[in-house]
Amino acid sequence: MGELAWSAEIEVDAPPDAVWDAITNPELTRRYVFGCDIEGEWRPGAPWRYQAGGRAVIVGTVLEADPPRLLRLTASNLWDPAAREDPPYRITWQVAPARGGRTRVRLTHDGFVDENASYRDSADLEPVLGGLRNLVDPEAAAAVRRLDAIGRAEVLPLTSERLNDFLDLFDNRAFADNPSWAWCYCYNFRFAGGEAEGIGRTAADNRRDMGDAIVRGRAHGLLAYVDGRAVGWCSACPKSEMPGLVGRDWMPPEADRVGIIGCLVVAPQYRRHGIARLLVEAAGEYLAGLGCRVAEAYPLRELDADAHGHYGPLAAYRDLGYETYRELPQRLILRKPLAAGDQ
Average pLDDT along the chain:
92
- 236: part of which helix (H) or strand (E)? strand 229-238
Which among 1-15, 62-76, 113-127 has the top mean pLDDT?
62-76
Q: For the chain, what percent of residues have pLDDT higher than 70?
A: 97
Residue 343 has pLDDT above 50, yes or no: no
CA distance 111 to 171: 32
Closest-CA residue to 160 (of 235, 219, 214): 214
Of 56-70, 174-188, 300-314, least confident by mean pLDDT is 300-314
Closest-CA residue to 90 (of 61, 116, 130): 61
Give the pLDDT confidence of 249-304 residue by residue, as tens digits. 788 887 789 999 989 999 999 999 999 999 999 999 999 999 999 999 999 888 76
Looking at residue 202, its pLDDT comes to 85
Distance of CA 77 to the CA centre of its chain: 18
User: What residues contact residue 107 under an 8 Å CB cut-off, 6+ apart?
Assistant: 7, 8, 9, 91, 92, 93, 94, 125, 128, 129
Instruction: Indicate the pLDDT class of residue 340, thresholds 50, 70 and 90.
Output: low
Looking at residue 1, its pLDDT comes to 40
Closest-CA residue to 308 (of 177, 169, 137, 170): 177
Residue 213 has pLDDT above 80, yes or no: yes
DSSP-assigned letter for residue 78: S
Give the Cα-Cα-Cα angle 130, 135, 138 (nearest 5 degrees). Answer: 100
Question: What are the residue ranges spanned by the domains of the chain?
Answer: 5-143, 153-337
Looking at residue 246, its pLDDT comes to 79
Residue 309 has pLDDT above 80, yes or no: no
Distance of CA 83 to the CA centre of its chain: 21
| Entry pTM | 0.84
Looking at residue 2, its pLDDT comes to 54
Give the pLDDT confidence of 219-239 residue by residue, as tens digits. 999 999 999 999 999 999 999
Give the pLDDT confidence of 52-111 residue by residue, as tens digits. 988 999 999 999 999 999 999 999 999 999 999 999 999 999 999 999 999 999 999 999
| 252 compared with 11, residue with greater pLDDT | 11
| Domain at 5-143, CATH class | alpha beta
Query: In this structure, which amino acid lies at residue 176?
Result: A
CATH code linked to domain 153-337 = 3.40.630.30
Closest-CA residue to 233 (of 205, 271, 289): 271
